[in-house]
């Protein structure tokens, strides 16, 4: 699958430059969330700035700003979970691509998170069972994303305009479906849109299928 232009310019440079050696078992979980949210925030700002120009140039496009945010959100999720297909550019005289660099950093960081989980003797037996593979930590990465995706969605939609709406009715309001009609966020019961729900499911789909649909 060919990566779409949007993915080629994903604003995740801070994740590429993460110094995994500055992480330890005590702070790894929180520092990683800060880095991922920072990347999401920058990406959201970039889409808000540049996507309207694309819409003006190609008025037939059915995608909305919220759709583009959801696509980048899903790509960030794939990066965190070690499932990203995009190799990234390789600089001259360098042996590793950007993906290799991020993957190596994430393995080190999730290794530190694993150490924290297994420090407590009681938690150790609970953690060692699902996270037996201490080389790749894919299951731990998956669980980390599931636990933090709501926070990352808030970060990527920070710059979204108040009127931006998601294209499907994916918000759950007491058993009924509704659209995320304000800042690409679902509405809470108290009427605010600083939601604890994520309206998109793109991050659950295989990346190559998302890219095929985006090209189409």
Q: Hey, where are the domains in the chain?
A: 5-161
pLDDT of 75 over the 90 cut: yes
What CATH number belongs to 5-161? Answer: 1.20.1310.20
pLDDT at 64: 85
pLDDT at 124: 61
Query: Which residues pair with residue 185 across a beta bridge?
Result: 182
Over residues 157-183, mean pLDDT: 78
Please give the share of the chain, as a percent, with pLDDT higher than 90: 34
pLDDT of 131 over the 80 cut: no
pLDDT at 84: 93
Q: Sign of dihedral through CA atoms 23, 198, 206, 74? A: negative
Cα–Cα–Cα angle for 120, 125, 130, nearest 5°?
Answer: 120
Please give the share of the chain, as a percent, with pLDDT higher than 70: 81
pLDDT at 1: 63
At residue 189 the predicted structure's pLDDT band, cuts being 50, 70 and 90, is low
At residue 25 the predicted structure's pLDDT band, cuts being 50, 70 and 90, is low
pLDDT at 9: 87
pLDDT of 121 over the 60 cut: no
CA 203 to CA 149: how far, in whole Å?
Answer: 9
Over residues 108-122, mean pLDDT: 81
Over residues 203-209, mean pLDDT: 94
CA proximity to 154, closest of 187, 198, 203, 189 = 198
| Alpha helices, H only, the chain | 5-8, 13-16, 28-57, 65-80, 98-117, 121-128, 138-156, 207-215
pLDDT at 94: 66
pLDDT at 195: 64
| Total number of residues shown for the chain | 216
pTM value is 0.86
Contacting residues for 102 by C-beta, under 8 A, at least 6 apart: 12, 15, 16, 18, 79, 84
Residue 67 or 194, more confident: 67
pLDDT at 134: 62
pLDDT at 122: 61
């Amino acid at each position: 699958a060919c990566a779409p232009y949007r993915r080629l310019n994903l604003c995740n440079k801070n994740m590429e430059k993460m110094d995994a050696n500055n992480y330890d078992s005590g702070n790894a979980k929180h520092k990683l969330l800060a880095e991922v949210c920072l990347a999401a925030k920058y990406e959201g700002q970039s889409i808000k700035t540049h996507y309207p120009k694309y819409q003006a140039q190609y008025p037939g496009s059915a995608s909305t700003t919220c759709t583009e945010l959801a696509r980048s959100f899903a790509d960030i999720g794939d990066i965190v979970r070690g499932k990203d297909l995009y190799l990234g550019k390789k600089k001259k005289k360098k042996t590793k691509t950007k993906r290799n660099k991020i993957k190596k950093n994430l393995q080190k960081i999730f290794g530190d998170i694993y150490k924290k989980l297994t420090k407590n003797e009681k938690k150790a037996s609970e953690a060692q069972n699902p996270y037996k593979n201490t080389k790749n930590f894919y299951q731990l990465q998956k669980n980390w994303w599931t636990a933090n995706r709501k926070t990352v969605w808030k970060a990527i939609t920070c710059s979204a305009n108040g009127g931006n709406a998601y294209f499907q009715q994916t918000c759950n309001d007491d058993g009924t479906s509704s659209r995320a009609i304000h800042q690409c966020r679902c509405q809470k019961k108290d009427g605010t849109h600083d939601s604890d729900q994520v309206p998109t499911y793109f991050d659950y789909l295989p990346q190559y299928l998302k890219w095929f649909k985006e090209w189409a």
